[in-house]
Structure 1
Amino acid sequence: TAAPGPQLFLSLCLSRLKFPSDLDELRELAETLKFYKQEHYGYVLLLYCSAYLYKQSFAIPGSSLLNMLAGAIFGPWEGLFLACLLTTSGSTFCFLLSRAFGKQYVVHFFPEKVALLQRKAEENRSSLFFFLLFLRFFPMTPNWFLNITCPVLNIPMPIFFSSVFIGLIPYNFICVRTGSILSEISSLDDIFSWGTLAQLLAIALVALLPGALIKRYGHAHLKVDGLDGDGRDQAGRHRKRR
């Protein structure tokens, strides 16, 4: 069956599509968008990129489900490329918005956490890139909070950009691969196929290996004591209230 035209696709977007909040909604949305992608690839790509950048730019939670959606719609490798590109671009937009309009609000609402990160950033100024990588691999501080706080810490844009792109590759890979696997599974037997098990093993290795390496480097060269203290809880509590 041919996919309907652009006008009907736009009508569907306005009336039915919404951000997924669980795996059932994710699977349903993925099936719908995969159907339309057959003849309207550009529209689906534009819709997905716009939604992703919107959530990332304004620090709205839910990137994991959108990464999984990328894997389900575009496949594991194209989905990974999109997830990495959009995560980095959206985080950069968030960084710029915070630098232009939000620095005083970040300091006002999270004074203890900002003070802690400022102190640690100064202590690790000579290894700033690896310090930020450490924070991305081990989210003692939520990614959305790092995005809005880095302007306060006077993090240079090139270091911020590269640390986001590299530091979130394992996370993006795990989410995208998971979405790709979920879109291919139709029964419990599919879970225990050799192909699926190999992909799950690859996900486990990608999750563990970079983290182990950067953790070893961090213990030897970085000063990160205290980052998992009260400041994190303060940011988390405020985010929940929002």
Structure 2
Amino acid sequence: MCVCLRLTFPSDLDELKALARMLKLYKRDHHGYVVLLFCSAYLYKQSFAIPGSSFLNMLAGAIFGPWEGLLLACLLTTTGSTFCFLLSDAFGKQYVVRFFPQKVALLQRKVEENRSSLFFFLLFLRFFPMTPNWFLNISCPVLSVPMPIFFSSVFIGLIPYNFICVRTGSILSQLSSLDDIFSWGTLAQLLAIALMALLPGALIKHYSRRHLNVDGLDSGGEGSGERESREGESREGESRKRR
């Protein structure tokens, strides 16, 4: 009897759990193939800035367990982001500036203001994603961010996020009913995940108040920049009419 299974990227928790069960079963006899398949899918999404890394991180925890899954997620996130950086550097700079002029101008201004502490500024942006990670990946070549600083800031800055997703996936794969969520063991793991996520962010936030200039990176600052751009465009239009 032949059973045909269709592999797709998970879009909700039910699909995630079904895919995790299938791949865990296949991994017993073909561990290397499953690792290769997972790495290829992850690098594809990261390299081309396709959303959905949270589900893949959770899938890593469900298939490979919390520690192997975390190692894979950190390595793949960093490698895929680096590929995205290189693709943008080679082919996409002009398109990034053309389609996101206000965001690039704002980031450029903040990068120059924090050039002396660039690594910690990028860490701050990874811990507190006022700007999406995919946009940082494609815009850093435009901002002249050195590759070593970019690489290390991605690897370190996304460890808490990867840890949360991987551990959550590992826990979800072990739950058989909603009652399991309220067990003492599960609650203790969720508390540890929360502390792991909050502590590095609190340290970076404390450092940023003393050493970094991050004013205007929130949605209000971005919106005001867009308003300024629209006002400038309207003034240019009026001047053309007068001519």
Question: Considering the TM-score relative to the shorter chain, is it more than 0.5?
Answer: yes
2:67 to 66, 74, 77: 77
SS in 2 for 1:151: coil
1:181-230 residue CA offsets vs partner (Å, 9 max, x unmatched): 00000023321222211110111101111111101111111000001136
1:125 to 115, 119, 125: 115
AA aligned opposite 1:38 = R
Give the number of aligned pairs: 224
Cα pair 2:106 2:222 within 8 Å, conserved: no
SS in 1 for 2:186: helix
AA aligned opposite 1:129 = F
Q: Structure 1: how far apart are the matches of 2:204 and 2:111?
A: 17
Q: Which position in structure 2 is the counterpart of 1:209?
A: 199
Q: Which position in structure 2 is the counterpart of 1:158?
A: 148
Out of 43-52 and 223-232, give the one that drifted further. 223-232
Q: CA deviation at 1:231?
A: 7.1
Cα pair 2:54 2:165 within 8 Å, conserved: yes
SS in 1 for 2:78: helix
2:157 to 167, 178, 188: 167
Q: Which position in structure 1 is the counterpart of 2:27?
A: 37
Q: CA deviation at 1:232?
A: 5.3
Q: Structure 1: how far apart are the matches of 2:19 and 2:154?
A: 28
Q: Which position in structure 1 is the counterpart of 2:167?
A: 177
1:43-95 residue CA offsets vs partner (Å, 9 max, x unmatched): 11100000000000000000000000000000000000000000000000000
Any unmatched runs of 5+ in structure 2? 225-243
* Greater than 3 Å deviation, 4+ residue runs: 229-234
Distance 1:35 1:231, change over 3 A: farther
Q: Which position in structure 1 is the counterpart of 2:9?
A: 19
Q: Structure 2: how far apart are the matches of 1:233 and 1:59?
A: 23
Q: Which position in structure 2 is the counterpart of 1:149?
A: 139
Q: Structure 2: how far apart are the matches of 1:230 and 1:61?
A: 24
Distance 1:209 1:187, change over 3 A: same
Q: Which position in structure 2 is the counterpart of 1:105?
A: 95
Identity, % of aligned positions: 83
Is 1:219 paired with 2:198?
Answer: no
Q: Which position in structure 1 is the counterpart of 2:40?
A: 50
AA aligned opposite 2:187 = L
SS in 2 for 1:24: helix
Any unmatched runs of 5+ in structure 1? 235-242
1:104-161 residue CA offsets vs partner (Å, 9 max, x unmatched): 0000000011001001000000000000000000000000000000000000000000
Cα pair 1:140 1:232 within 8 Å, conserved: no
Q: Structure 1: how far apart are the matches of 2:145 and 2:112?
A: 10
Q: CA deviation at 1:233?
A: 6.5
Q: Which position in structure 2 is the counterpart of 1:238?
A: none
Q: Which position in structure 2 is the counterpart of 1:192?
A: 182
CA RMSD between the two structures: 1.7
Distance 1:33 1:233, change over 3 A: farther
Is 1:67 paired with 2:35?
Answer: no
Distance 1:232 1:89, change over 3 A: farther
